[in-house]
Amino acid sequence: MLKSIRAKILLAILTVTMFTACSLTGVFYFRAAGMIEENYSGILYGRMQQTIKDLDESLKEIYYVNTRTAWDTDIRNNAKEYSCTGNENSLENMAGLLREHSREYKDINSLYFVFPDNNTFSRNKNIIPVISTANQVTNINIPYLSIYFIFL
pLDDT for 98-118, tens place per residue? Answer: 888 878 888 777 777 766 654
* Mean of pLDDT values over 16-26: 95
pLDDT at residue 34 tops 90: yes
Give the sign of the dihedral formed by CA 35, CA 37, CA 42, CA 47. Answer: positive
- The size of the chain, in residues, is 152
pLDDT at residue 81 tops 50: yes
In this structure, the number of other CB atoms found within 10 A of the CB of residue 109 comes to 9
pLDDT tens track for 43-66: 999 999 999 999 999 999 988 988
pLDDT at residue 24 tops 90: yes
List Cα–Cα distances, 128 to 4, 51, 87, in angstroms. Answer: 95, 28, 17
